[in-house]
């Protein structure tokens, strides 16, 4: 496995690989790799791509300095995991190269209006501006590629798809299914911050989603049921929403069809998110 940090070397590596006929499968991460990341590496490999993974804890997407400080970092384990799962090149750019003016504000920001403003965007102001800006930079340095993202961060994928469409970037976005632990909790780098008791309560997120998948109803009924399940487990509910899977516009009670349920809860200061496809029925049907 090749290991790089300089942006110039990274750009040249990708160029040489494409010139030799290989297609780059980019997997952006913030490290603390887990089974969800491994599934992205394997998806890229199964598509015949050369896997280029990045590890960069992007400070511009954290609106809480304390959250940034406690974000898990496991570099040695990450290197081993990346190599074991077929990563051809692991890039760990420095903060100085990615954001030369940090901690001062960067003059250029990529902002995807509308789709960034709700759900996670409402609870974490500036978060998606930081995400869109760093991902745009990853795409700019890598060049034409396929980029793999996990569906646990469903809103993030929607934001990035919109950015790629609006800017006509030569990048194909590939979304991959959520990977869950045996108890149903979606894999997340933040899970290591949970105490055993908090983790046991966190399983309520996936249970709430399963409930609304099995019990059809209008959108407001599904929203209420998800909140009830989370609150019964002592979880501070950030949101429990049912939306259009493309635009993320909330679903009305007169609408019918496939939608996406997205939930977020805070347990002992740790924010967890999850989502699932659901079917909604019009009120009174």
**Residue 37 appears among annotated catalytic residues:** yes
Active-site option among 34, 37, 79, 85: 37
> What gap in Å lies between CA 140 and CA 206, rounded to an integer?
36
> What gap in Å lies between CA 74 and CA 65, rounded to an integer?
19
> What gap in Å lies between CA 140 and CA 276, rounded to an integer?
31
Q: What CA–CA distances, in Å, run from 163 to 75, 129, 135, 150, 168?
A: 30, 11, 10, 17, 8
> What gap in Å lies between CA 16 and CA 127, rounded to an integer?
34
> What gap in Å lies between CA 16 and CA 223, rounded to an integer?
50
**Which residues have CB under 8 Å from 259's CB, separation 6+?**
219, 242, 243, 244, 245, 251, 277, 278, 279, 280
- Determine contact, residues 267/201, Cβ cutoff 8 Å: yes
Bridge partners (DSSP) listed for residue 276: 261
Known catalytic residues?
37
């Amino acid at each position: 496995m090749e290991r790089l940090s300089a942006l110039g070397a990274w750009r040249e590596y990708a160029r040489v690989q494409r010139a030799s006929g290989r297609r780059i499968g980019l997997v952006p991460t913030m490290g603390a790799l887990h089974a969800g990341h491994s599934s992205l590496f394997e998806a890229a490999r199964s598509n015949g791509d050369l896997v280029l993974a990045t590890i960069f804890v992007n400070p511009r997407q954290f609106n809480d300095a304390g959250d940034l400080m406690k974000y898990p970092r496991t570099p040695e384990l990450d290197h081993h995991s990346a190599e074991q799962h077929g990563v051809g090149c692991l890039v760990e750019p420095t903060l100085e190269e990615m954001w030369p003016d940090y901690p001062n504000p960067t003059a250029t920001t990529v902002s995807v209006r509308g789709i960034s403003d709700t759900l996670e965007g409402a609870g974490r102001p500036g978060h998606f501006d930081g995400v869109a800006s760093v991902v745009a930079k990853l795409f700019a340095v890598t060049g034409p590629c396929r980029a793999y993202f996990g569906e646990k961060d469903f809103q993030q994928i929607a934001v990035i798809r919109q950015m790629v469409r609006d800017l006509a970037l030569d990048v194909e976005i590939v979304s991959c299914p959520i990977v869950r632990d045996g108890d149903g909790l979606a894999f997340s780098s933040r899970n290591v911050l949970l105490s055993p008791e908090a983790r046991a309560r966190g399983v309520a997120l996936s249970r709430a989603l399963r409930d609304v998948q099995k019990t059809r109803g209008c959108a407001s009924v599904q929203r209420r049921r998800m909140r009830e399940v989370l609150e019964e487990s002592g979880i501070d509910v950030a949101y429990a929403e049912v939306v259009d899977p493309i635009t993320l516009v909330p679903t009305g009670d007169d609408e019918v069809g496939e939608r996406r349920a997205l939930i977020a809860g805070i347990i002992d200061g740790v924010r967890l998110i999850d989502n699932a496809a659901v079917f909604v029925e019009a009120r009174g049907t």
